Chain A
Amino acid sequence: MTLLDRPLAEQASAIASGEADAAELLDETLTRIEGRNPAVNAVVETFPDHSREMLEAAPEGPMHGVPVVIKDEWALPWRAQRFGAVELFSAVGPGESGPYRALRDVGAVIAGVANMHEWGASSTGNVSVYGPARNPWDTDRCPGGSSSGSGAAVGARIVAGAVGADGIGSIRYPAAYCGVTGLKPTFGRSAMQGHHLEGSQMIVSGPLCSDAEGCRLLGSALFGEQLERGDPSGLRIGTVAAIADDSAEPVRAACEEAIEALRDETGASVREIELPGVELSGLAAVLVATSEGLNGVTPSKLNEMSPEIGPINRGIAKYRMLMPGSVLERGRAIRTMMRRTLAAAFADVDLIAWPTVPAVAPPLTEPMVELPSGVHTADAVNPRGGGLANLIGIPAVSVPVGFDDGLPIGLQLQAPWGADALLLDAAEAIERATERRFVDAVAPVAQSTEAQAPHS
């Protein structure tokens, strides 16, 4: 095991203390990308000269010399974002996006660009102009989307931290599928400048890291303020049967066990709560995101779409144009209703917990999941648990809490607006309670320094 296999905060600490050399760590990262990435297709572009220039100019910040990758959703001074697609409806170009500046200002080094689902339009990550990223726990499985490469890169221990984006669960789904920790910040707290969907009230940037402390470090960089560690003693945790019950049994059981572990670790109380209307939040989030995504899209642009855009996204883009305004307005009304419902709920509980996704990573070729309610596409059911936080603006974190047949299981914790640090306190408490056995578990792809070919 090398320093590159260690969590993000340990890498930062080793460099700061002089125990490790940042230039050597960057070289090792680039070598690892070359050797291990072909198995997972998580990193779609490297630029060693730019990375080394970043390191040479890096300030003595809290992430000085620490290599990370960044989702293909933001511009870099030397590269425009592609959003996982051959083309976008919005004009884009190279530049200093907010997340780039945030990383640069804390001394981090961008070692590469992470793959993502085409147009950010799925929870699976199985479609991309670069070819799909693959799950490091089983390369025939979905890595989750849309921050597919960010999750797979960290899960494969190519890097210990990655920047993702979350519009409807897009950090938390890959975190759960790939066995890493992913934080969806409170809306508006993390760097978003330069995003091509300017004005979105759903999307946030956020960290995916091998553990919660890494998310605290990288999250603090993206927030531009320190996410201070607090005392999570005496937490009041709410669970919601309406979401948790329609989960695959191993997922539900692992999440319940983790909630009990968190309760025991922090002296918390756990109780079932009702969130009237919560079953509407997933579709409402999809509708609100749809209305945001329609901005600037015209019939002529749709007719001129490149045939290289995947057929699913071509069909979805055109279907979205037919959404009746009355339906979209209902989505916004449900957003208002759920904001009030959750504000009331958070008077009685500090955290709300349920499975991040109802089943583990589905096959890349057929992303279907089997739940108590039947067999569904992953995209049809994942927003049930992932959409609420985006819809109403609250923060959420996905924490690795178990395995089902060798595939990771994620528990999602949600907190009131602005309580991002509390989520990381709770995530760290789960890590203590489980003796880090889930965050330190090593995916098959990462168990050898040799690249492993995909199974198919």
Chain B
Amino acid sequence: MPASGDFEAFVPAGLASMGIEADEVELAVMRAMHETYWPAMAGFLDLDLSDVDPEPMADMSQAPQ
């Protein structure tokens, strides 16, 4: 997985690139979020979903056609 797993390499630079300001408390929250969720999100990127064909015009109120 890319360096996104490294909070220091990913989050401050990402915020800076978008011009988003964050104080220490917000960064601490983001660090906790990153540590909690990033490993699972990285796992998503490792999944082979190539056989999942798109569902065009998916209607969530009904079963897939």
Contacts and interface: CB of A to CB of B under 8 A. Distances in A.
A327 B44 contact: yes
A232 to B, nearest CB: 21
A334 B44 CA distance: 9
Interface string B34-65: 10110011001101010011110011111110
A316 B52 contact: no
Contact of A417 (B18, B20, B61): B61
A326 interface: yes
Contacts, number: 110
A312 B25 CA distance: 8
A322 B60 CA distance: 27
Contact of B45 (A316, A326, A416, A417): A326
Contacts of B59: 188, 393
A318 to B, nearest CB: 5
Contact of B62 (A316, A321, A418): A418
A273 to B, nearest CB: 17
A440 to B, nearest CB: 34
B19 A333 contact: no
Interface in A330-344: 330-331, 333-334, 336-337, 339-340, 343
A318 B27 CA distance: 9
Best-buried of B15, B29, B37 by chain A (most CB within 10 Å): B29
A362 to B, nearest CB: 16
A125 to B, nearest CB: 18
A283 B37 contact: yes
Contacts of B49: 330, 333-334, 337
Contacts of B58: 336, 339
A187 interface: yes
A326 B49 CA distance: 12
A303 to B, nearest CB: 5
A78 interface: no
Nearest to B65: A343
A311 B61 contact: no
Nearest to A185: B61
A315 B19 contact: no
Contacts of A189: 61
Interface in A165-200: 186-189
Dominant SS among interface residues on chain A: helix
Interface residues on B, range: 35 or more
B61 A318 contact: no
Best-buried of B11, B25, B58 by chain A (most CB within 10 Å): B58
Contact of B22 (A315, A326, A416): A315
A286 B62 CA distance: 21
Interface string B3-34: 01000001100110011111001111110011
B61 A303 contact: no
B55 A336 contact: yes
A204 B54 CA distance: 24
A302 B20 contact: yes
A315 B29 contact: yes
A453 interface: no
A92 interface: no
A186 B20 contact: no
B33 A315 contact: yes
A57 to B, nearest CB: 32
Nearest to B4: A324
B63 A315 contact: no
B44 A283 contact: yes
A312 B29 CA distance: 6
A284 B40 CA distance: 10
Nearest to A303: B21
A401 interface: no
Interface of B: 4, 10-11, 14-15, 18-22, 25-30, 33-34, 36-37, 40-41, 44-45, 47, 49, 52-55, 58-64
Given A188-B60, A315-B33, A330-B49, 9 more contacts: A280-B47, A283-B44, A287-B41, A299-B20, A315-B28, A322-B10, A324-B4, A336-B54, A336-B55
Closest 7 CB pairs of A and B: A315-B29, A393-B60, A188-B61, A187-B60, A330-B44, A315-B26, A322-B14
Interface of A: 186-189, 201, 280, 283-284, 286-287, 299-300, 302-303, 311-312, 314-316, 318-319, 321-324, 326-327, 330-331, 333-334, 336-337, 339-340, 343, 346, 377, 380, 392-393, 416-418
24 contacts: A187-B61, A201-B60, A283-B41, A284-B44, A287-B41, A300-B19, A302-B20, A303-B19, A311-B25, A314-B26, A315-B29, A316-B33, A318-B15, A318-B30, A319-B11, A321-B18, A330-B49, A333-B52, A336-B52, A336-B53, A339-B55, A339-B63, A392-B60, A418-B62
